[in-house]
Every structure is written in structure tokens, then in C-alpha cells.
Amino acid sequence: MKIAIASDHAGVDYKARLVKHLESKGFEITDFGPITVDSVDYPDFAHKVANAVSSKEVELGILFCGSGNGINMSANKHQAIRSALCWTKEIAELSRLHNNANVVAMPARFISYDEAQEIAEVFLATEFEGGRHERRVNKIACC
């Protein structure tokens, strides 16, 4: 499975660690940066992941920023993106099962790396349930 990943400066460490972990599990990762903890603007990186997911260059995306909010909001500006802000594995699972989320955003300053890894693993392993949820998901996009 091909995955896009990015962060802002607050999520660089988690992103780097998660890339190594997921590659060891056989995932093909496209890392859109950044690579240093120098201050950056999260929308620049969210849009790269959102574009890769929207164009089907990759199947799913993973994002980190300090609170998870800004990078999540930026990704969700793209019509084909359903980015879910997740801080527990249960929320990640439901975001895939019920909302067919194609991007997960996590708050690097409010969860441990181990929690982030677990959230990512559950997100990537969970399939959309469809059924009654399909109708609702089809109503999310505005255009």
C-alpha cells in the first residue's frame, strides 16, 4: 500500500519514526517533509499529501502537527479528502469504518509516539464498512 505522510515542525520526529516503522512493515511511503524542526507553515505540507491522495498517487495519507487541527483543516479544503483528526485508535478505526477517511491527522504535542503508531496502524488496517454509511459519506463533499 502506498502512503503519503507529512507534518509541520512539531511532528517531524513522530513522522520520521513512523516512516521507518511503516517501511519495515512493507508500506511504500512518500514523505512530503519537512525534515527539520525549523518553523514551517502546515498548509504547505497538508496540501501536498491531500493532492497525492486526491490524484490517487497514494491510497491514504498521514499528517502531524502540534494540535492536529491546522493540518487537518488544510487537508479538508480538498473536495476528495476526508481527513480525520484522531487522538485514539478507536477514533481512527471509526473514521475509516463509518466515514471512509482517507487521511488521518494527529496531534504530536498531545499523544505519545506509541499512541501515534497505534493510531496509524489501526487507520491503515481498517476498511470502510459501507452500507448505511455510504449514503452519508456521499453527502460530505460540497461540489
- Cα–Cα distance, 23 to 37 (Å, whole number): 22
> What SS3 class is residue 72?
helix
Q: Exposed/middle/buried for 87, CB within 10 Å: 0-12, 13-18, 19+?
A: middle
Q: Exposed/middle/buried for 84, CB within 10 Å: 0-12, 13-18, 19+?
A: buried
Which residues sit opposite 132 in a β-bridge? Answer: none
Is 7 in contact with 19 (CB distance < 8 Å)?
A: no
Which residues sit opposite 133 in a β-bridge? Answer: none
Q: Catalytic residue positions?
A: 65, 98
